[in-house]
Amino acid sequence: MKKLSMILAAVFLVGSFAARAETLPPIPPLPDGNPFEIFDKRVKKLEDEKTKEKDKKKQEKIADKIKKEEENKDKKISSLVEPREKKKEALLNQIDTMKQKNKEADITQVQAQADNLDKEINYLNDLAAGKNPEPLKKGGAPAVAPKDGAADPKPADAADKAKKALQGDLGK
């Protein structure tokens, strides 16, 4: 009876992790250009105003505006980076489970997705820091070539070859 309850608890726990991994929010697309330039320009303009202003109260108000702009920039960064970090964490957990189930599991595709998310996170952090990183290629993880003995990537061609082989026309 104890074993049954332990098995049920383990199944429930694994199921809850799987359900959580599937319910991650969608990842927003990478922005074109630098979305953080707007905030940097506003902060620079406000800092220029602050240096020109002689009244202490007005300087404090401008400093508050600068602080709000920097908070808005941080919110924008986190709205773009956090979903990618969560997805990357889910993929790394998936890799760990795949390795636990089968030590020889093929994790290249999942690892490529995690690597791409890591590149996107670094790209966004570089943009936020004011650097000009090289734009990333769009399209996600690179395609993984099938292993030897794997199914033919073009099933229609494979079906045609099978028909011809049955008819004896393969050599013609």
Q: What is the mean pLDDT of residues 24-39?
A: 77
Q: Tokens 């809850």 correspond to what residue?
A: 16
Checking if the pLDDT of 105 tops 60, the result is: yes
Residue 135's pLDDT band, with cuts at 50, 70 and 90, is confident
Domain ranges in the chain are: 34-130
Whether the model clears a pTM of 0.75, i.e. scores above it, the answer is no
Residue-level length of the chain: 172
* C-beta of residue 59 within 8 angstroms of C-beta of residue 50: yes
What is the C-alpha to C-alpha distance for residues 17 and 22, in angstroms, rounded to an integer?
A: 9
Rounded to 5°, angle at Cα 59 from 56 and 62: 155
Looking at residue 48, what is its pLDDT? 93
Checking if the pLDDT of 50 tops 70, the result is: yes
Looking at residue 65, what is its pLDDT? 93
